[in-house]
């Protein structure tokens, strides 16, 4: 059973690389989003009740989404789980699709700036209408760098610790933050989802940053990566998202620029030049974190055996 558990992580990444993210409203995460959109509309709840509703519905959403994952792992025989678990874990992560979105922005920019602005609007929440070509490209690579944690490292981390249900709990929590965690009319109902996402990403963001520092050390870029981490990581709001962004920007010599909000990185190279290196860093961190997290079930099994 332990061997099957270990095999799920690399198999899920293989499934992701082969299939990508099927675009269907019946995809489990799409259905999750529809459910969150239904209860997360602040117009449906009195302002005085919105914070409490956010807590209650966060718990309900996490439980509903993760329960089928728990049932699969609890009751399927190991040989069936070896087939089903990589597919179920893949539901909770997205690697290939992140690269595809960036590639779509690059191809659109090669055609025209308006097309690039349109494509990047699918990746970020900022208004793209006034963005320059460099800022459009920056938005795409910022999203890739930040979502290294949200869409890859964190789901694998929670799978390694808690199995399929752990990955599903994280995916539900992160999706709620992505849809509700804004300082607008959703602020009260989204307060708890945003704080929960901060807590859940705290360790994965720092693990990813550490892996990235080792990667850039191997490439002779440790010092600029560490310098940017120390100087720029806190420029981005939140506890976690700025960490991988700063390490990648410094290690690749690039600059991420969100107008009116922050600039991260030294800007030694243009993003059009550094783009391939950013994708390479994300790939290296994905594979290294997968290898690292495969050790966690082994340590847990040994710990249980000796207590």
Which phi-psi region, left, alpha or beta, contains residue 28 (left: φ > 0; alpha: ψ -120 to 50)?
Answer: alpha
pLDDT, tens only, 179-202: 999 888 999 999 999 999 999 999
Token output for 253: 């010599």
Burial 9-24 (b: 16+ CB within 10 A, else e): bebbbebbeeeebeee
**Stretch among 5-9, 38-42, 49-53, 187-191 having the lowest mean pLDDT:** 5-9
Q: What would the mean pLDDT of 213-242 be, rounded to a whole number? A: 95
281: part of which helix (H) or strand (E)?
A: helix 271-293
| Residue 303, pLDDT above cutoff 80 | no
At 264 the three-state DSSP class reads: strand
Which phi-psi region, left, alpha or beta, contains residue 237 (left: φ > 0; alpha: ψ -120 to 50)?
Answer: beta
Evaluate whether 214 touches 247 at the Cβ level (below 8 Å): no
Cα 299 to the center of its chain, rounded Å = 25
Q: What would the mean pLDDT of 85-99 be, rounded to a whole number? A: 96
Q: State the residue for tokens 């720092």.
A: 206
Which phi-psi region, left, alpha or beta, contains residue 267 (left: φ > 0; alpha: ψ -120 to 50)?
Answer: left
pLDDT, tens only, 121-173: 988 888 888 899 999 999 999 999 999 999 999 999 999 999 999 999 999 99
| pTM listed for this prediction | 0.94
């Amino acid at each position: 059973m332990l061997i099957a558990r270990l095999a799920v992580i690399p198999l899920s990444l293989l499934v992701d690389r082969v299939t990508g993210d099927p675009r269907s409203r019946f995809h489990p995460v799409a259905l999750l989003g529809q459910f969150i959109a239904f209860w997360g509309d602040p117009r449906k709840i009195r302002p005085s009740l919105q914070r409490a509703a956010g807590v209650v519905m966060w718990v309900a959403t996490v439980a509903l989404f993760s329960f089928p994952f728990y049932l699969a792992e609890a009751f399927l025989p190991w040989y069936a789980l070896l087939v089903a678990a990589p597919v179920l874990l893949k539901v909770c992560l997205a690697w290939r699709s992140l690269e595809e979105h960036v590639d779509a922005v690059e191809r659109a920019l090669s055609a025209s700036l308006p097309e690039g602005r349109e494509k990047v609007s699918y990746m970020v929440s900022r208004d793209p209408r006034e963005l320059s070509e460099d800022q459009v490209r920056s938005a795409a690579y910022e999203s890739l760098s930040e979502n290294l944690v949200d869409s890859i490292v964190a789901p694998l981390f929670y799978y390694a610790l808690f199995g399929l249900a752990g990955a599903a709990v994280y995916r539900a929590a992160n999706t709620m933050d992505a849809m509700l965690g804004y300082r607008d009319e959703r602020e009260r109902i989204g307060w708890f989802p945003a704080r929960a996402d901060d807590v859940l990403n705290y360790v994965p963001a720092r693990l990813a940053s550490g892996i990235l520092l080792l990667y850039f050390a191997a490439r002779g870029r440790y010092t600029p990566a560490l310098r940017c981490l120390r100087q720029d990581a806190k420029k981005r709001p939140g506890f976690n998202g700025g960490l991988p962004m700063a390490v990648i920007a410094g290690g690749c010599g690039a600059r991420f620029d969100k107008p009116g909000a922050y600039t991260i990185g030294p800007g030694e190279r243009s993003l059009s030049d550094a783009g391939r290196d950013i994708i390479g860093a994300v790939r290296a961190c994905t594979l290294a974190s997968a290898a690292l997290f495969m050790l966690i079930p082994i340590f847990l099994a040994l710990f249980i055996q000796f207590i």
